[in-house]
């Protein structure tokens, strides 16, 4: 728990330093070009406060008594990691194979393999969700979802619904 706390505080300090570096591209001082702070002023000084606060958090972990308990329950963290990886793979696949392959694959993995549901639950949800998404987003709200190389398959559907 303590190690994780320190790690997060340190990561936040690094992040705010990165923000500060980015912010210096524009003037950060008062009266830079106008009557108030310059374009980099807000992000720079707020990042500086964030840096100081994160620093404070880090220092506090050294002073206080170690908090009991572990940050991660190891058996559970594996589930979380699996879901995160599946999510990343799905998002990466979306522009290539299209929403209507990537999302059913994800649902199938989640329900059948990760959630150990029966086929009777898995199959209808895996098939009906994309159908619902198509009708809700594309036909009704007219927002096209990424299709990747499956796009030609949709031309007849477009011709029919639009």
Member of 10, 17, 105, 137 binding another protein (CB under 8 A): 137
Q: Is 105 in the site for another protein (CB under 8 A)?
A: no
Nearer to another protein, 56 or 66 (CB): 56
Say how far apart CA 20 and CA 41 lie, in whole Å. Answer: 10
Q: Is 2 in the site for another protein (CB under 8 A)?
A: no
Residue 90 contacts residue 148 (beta carbons within 8 Å): no
Q: Is 134 in the site for another protein (CB under 8 A)?
A: no
Member of 123, 133, 135, 160 binding another protein (CB under 8 A): 133
Say how far apart CA 28 and CA 31 lie, in whole Å. Answer: 9
Which positions from 37 through 96 interact with another protein, judged by CB under 8 A?
37-40, 42-43, 46-47, 49-50, 53-54, 56-57, 60, 71-73, 76-77, 79-80, 83-84, 87-88, 90-91, 94-95
Q: Is 140 in the site for another protein (CB under 8 A)?
A: yes
- 101 Cβ contact list (under 8 Å, min separation 6): 93, 148, 150
Member of 30, 66, 119, 135 binding another protein (CB under 8 A): 30
Q: Residues, the chain, total?
A: 162
Q: Which helix (H) or strand (E) covers residue 61, if one does? A: helix 41-63
Q: What angle do CA 115, 118, 122 make, to 5 degrees?
A: 75
Member of 3, 14, 34, 127 binding another protein (CB under 8 A): 34
Other C-beta atoms closer than 10 Å to the C-beta of 9 total 19
Q: Is 31 in the site for another protein (CB under 8 A)?
A: yes
Binding residues for another protein, rule CB under 8 A, total 79
């Amino acid at each position: 728990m303590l190690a994780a706390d320190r790690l997060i505080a340190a990561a936040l300090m690094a992040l705010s330093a990165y923000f500060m570096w980015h912010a210096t591209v524009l003037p950060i001082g008062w009266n830079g070009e106008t009557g108030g702070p310059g374009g980099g002023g807000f992000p720079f000084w707020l990042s500086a406060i964030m840096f100081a606060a994160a620093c404070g958090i880090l220092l506090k972990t050294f002073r206080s008594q170690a908090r009991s308990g572990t940050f991660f329950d190891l058996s559970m963290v594996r589930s979380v990691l699996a879901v995160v990886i599946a999510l990343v793979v799905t998002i990466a696949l979306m522009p290539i194979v299209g929403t209507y392959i990537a999302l059913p694959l994800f649902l199938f993995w989640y329900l059948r393999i990760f959630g150990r549901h029966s086929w009777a639950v898995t199959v209808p949800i895996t098939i009906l969700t994309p159908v619902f998404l198509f009708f809700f987003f594309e036909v009704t709200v007219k927002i096209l979802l990424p299709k990747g190389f499956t796009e030609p398959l949709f031309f007849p559907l477009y011709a029919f619904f639009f």
